[in-house]
């Protein structure tokens, strides 16, 4: 376990990102990955640069890299013919133009997705060839009207296409661009006979990326999925356990809260390398929707040798604590840089953001005088 932890040197992976305001992005982290070093925080382009382009499109991922993100983050689901593609959920009615396509009207149905009834169109009812005829649309057009300019322009990308993009941009930008895939609803897909682990591992190995030193993290909201990847598939890349402020992983007797106790973190450390908590688990909101007192989660995780990279930082007022909002328009930008600086100074090893340029700038501001 100690040898595996040594490979997760988050600051070393961040090194090489563009400098902003004359401050280098991140000096190398030496030793245990849970030991935070100033400036060593990674910026993960959440679903690409989803604040500026429709999420999970090659255009969104490419923009994230060009804005200085260390990693681009695809959510992975499966097609009917067992090809991994990038969508936030298997239901694609809200992120593609499928609802306007009469040839697919009969595919609309209701499924039980992790115990919740969901109606729509699902990737596992489409072959890859059929999915490629669809075009991506903005998921939250009422918030990101600018992104609707790009509706209908981009396809649903495969995981392989994202890896090809990563390789091309790494060469063009002269710095290694990381990829941070998430397995979405792995138990659900496994029960459909479309497990996500096998094609994910195959893709990483086919592209020479299942290596300790590769700039790849794999994440999931299901601890059992990550344990299976480590124990059964013997993956070598770092694994990140995503958590929520409430509830539990699907079909798991332990709640997220139990996993994040000091004892729970020590158990997780046997097969994971980091956690991706909801950001309110780092600094909770008060009853007035302002930032409260930071929890001990960062310190507890680092004590267990686990890195901490919370989600999701967004620039629009409606997503910000009250004291960081500017004006009354919920879709206008607030003081997002200040919010991220506040969180980074709790000792984070990285953060997920819809606006990667803001994350890169916040990192430089946070550690400008360290």
Each residue's pLDDT tens digit, 264-303: 999 999 999 999 999 999 999 999 999 999 999 999 999 9
Q: Does the residue 141 lie in any domain?
A: no
pLDDT tops 50 at residue 26? no
- Give per-residue pLDDT as tens, 158-201: 999 999 999 999 999 999 999 999 999 999 999 999 999 999 99
What three-state secondary structure class fits 42? strand
Q: Does the residue 254 lie in any domain?
A: yes
In the chain, which ranges are continuous DSSP H helix?
A: 2-6, 10-14, 58-66, 128-131, 159-173, 186-191, 197-206, 223-231, 256-259, 262-268, 297-303, 336-344, 356-366
Q: Does the residue 130 lie in any domain?
A: no
DSSP lists the bridge partners of residue 136 as: 96
pLDDT tops 60 at residue 16? no
The residue-averaged pLDDT of 235-244 equals 98
Q: Which CA distances in Å does 217 have to 181, 251, 319, 348, 356?
A: 7, 24, 26, 16, 18
In which domain, by residue range, is 74 found?
Answer: 2-88+157-366
pLDDT number for residue 40: 73
Q: Does the residue 333 lie in any domain?
A: yes
| DSSP per residue, 149-176 | GGTTS-PPPBHHHHHHHHHHHHHHHTSP
Q: Is 253 exposed, middle or buried (0-12, 13-18, 19+ CB in 10 A)?
A: exposed
Q: Please name the residue that has the structure tokens 């999420």.
A: 55
Q: Which residue has the higher pLDDT, 28 or 284?
A: 284
pLDDT tops 50 at residue 263? yes
Q: Does the residue 133 lie in any domain?
A: no
Question: Whole-prediction pTM value?
Answer: 0.91
Of 11-25, 40-54, 96-110, minimum mean pLDDT range: 11-25
What CATH number has the domain bearing residue 356?
A: 3.20.20.190
pLDDT tops 60 at residue 2? no
Of 1-10, 64-73, 335-344, minimum mean pLDDT range: 1-10
**Of 198, 249, 204, 239, nearest to 219 (Cα)?**
239
**Of 263, 261, 264, nearest to 281 (Cα)?**
261
pLDDT number for residue 305: 97
Q: How confident is the model at residue 57 (pLDDT cuts 50, 70, 90)?
A: very high
The residue-averaged pLDDT of 118-127 equals 98
**Of 158, 160, 166, 162, nearest to 205 (Cα)?**
160
Q: Does the residue 244 lie in any domain?
A: yes
The residue-averaged pLDDT of 314-321 equals 98
Cis peptide before 312 (omega within 30 of 0): yes
pLDDT number for residue 51: 98
pLDDT tops 50 at residue 304? yes
Q: Does the residue 248 lie in any domain?
A: yes
The residue-averaged pLDDT of 111-120 equals 97
Q: Does the residue 257 lie in any domain?
A: yes
Strands 84-86 and 75-78, how do they pair? antiparallel
- Strand 71-73's sheet: what is its strand order? 178-179, 71-73, 42-46, 350-353
Mean pLDDT of the chain: 91
CA distance 221 to 264: 15
CA distance 343 to 106: 47
pLDDT tops 80 at residue 256? yes
Please give the structure tokens belonging to residue 269: 């450390």
- Give per-residue pLDDT as tens, 68-102: 999 999 999 999 999 999 999 999 999 999 999 99
The residue-averaged pLDDT of 37-54 equals 87
Say how many domains are in the chain.
1
pLDDT tops 90 at residue 66? yes
Of 6-10, 66-70, 99-103, minimum mean pLDDT range: 6-10
pLDDT number for residue 370: 54
Q: Which residue has the higher pLDDT, 8 or 322?
A: 322
What is the share, in percent, of the chain residues with pLDDT greater than 70? 89
The residue-averaged pLDDT of 315-323 equals 98
């Amino acid at each position: 376990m100690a040898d595996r932890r040594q490979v997760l040197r988050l600051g070393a992976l961040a090194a090489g990102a563009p400098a902003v305001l004359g401050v280098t992005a991140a000096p190398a982290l030496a030793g245990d990955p849970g030991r935070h070093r100033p400036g060593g925080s990674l910026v993960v382009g959440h679903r690409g640069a989803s604040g500026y382009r429709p999420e999970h499109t090659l255009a969104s991922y490419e923009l994230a890299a060009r804005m200085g993100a260390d990693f681009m983050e695809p959510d992975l689901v499966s097609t009917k013919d067992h090809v991994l593609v990038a969508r936030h959920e298997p239901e694609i009615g809200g992120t593609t133009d499928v609802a306007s396509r009469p040839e697919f009207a009969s595919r609309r149905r209701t499924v039980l997705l992790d115990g919740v009834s969901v109606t729509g169109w699902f990737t596992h009812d489409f072959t890859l060839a059929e999915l490629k005829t669809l075009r991506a649309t903005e998921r939250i057009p009422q918030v990101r009207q600018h992104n609707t300019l790009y509706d209908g322009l981009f396809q649903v990308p495969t995981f392989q296409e994202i890896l090809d993009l990563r390789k091309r941009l790494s060469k063009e930008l002269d710095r290694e661009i990381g990829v941070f895939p998430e397995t979405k609803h792995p138990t659900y897909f496994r029960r459909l006979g479309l497990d996500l682990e096998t094609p994910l591992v195959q893709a990483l190995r086919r592209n020479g990326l299942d290596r300790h030193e590769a700039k790849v993290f794999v994440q999931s909201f299901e601890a059992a999925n990550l344990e299976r990847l480590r124990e059964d598939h013997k993956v070598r890349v770092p694994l990140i356990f995503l958590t929520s402020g409430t509830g539990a992983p699907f079909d798991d007797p332990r709640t997220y809260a139990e996993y994040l106790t000091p004892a729970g973190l020590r158990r997780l450390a046997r097969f994971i390398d980091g956690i991706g908590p909801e950001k309110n688990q780092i600094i909770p909101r008060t009853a007035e929707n302002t930032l409260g007192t930071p929890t001990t989660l960062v310190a507890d995780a680092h004590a267990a040798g686990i890195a901490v990279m919370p989600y999701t930082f967004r620039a629009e007022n409606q997503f910000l604590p009250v004291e960081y909002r500017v004006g009354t328009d919920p879709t206008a930008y607030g003081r997002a840089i200040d919010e991220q600086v506040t969180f980074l100074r709790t000792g984070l090893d990285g953060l997920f953001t819809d606006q990667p340029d803001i994350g890169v700038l916040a990192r430089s501001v946070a550690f400008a005088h360290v």
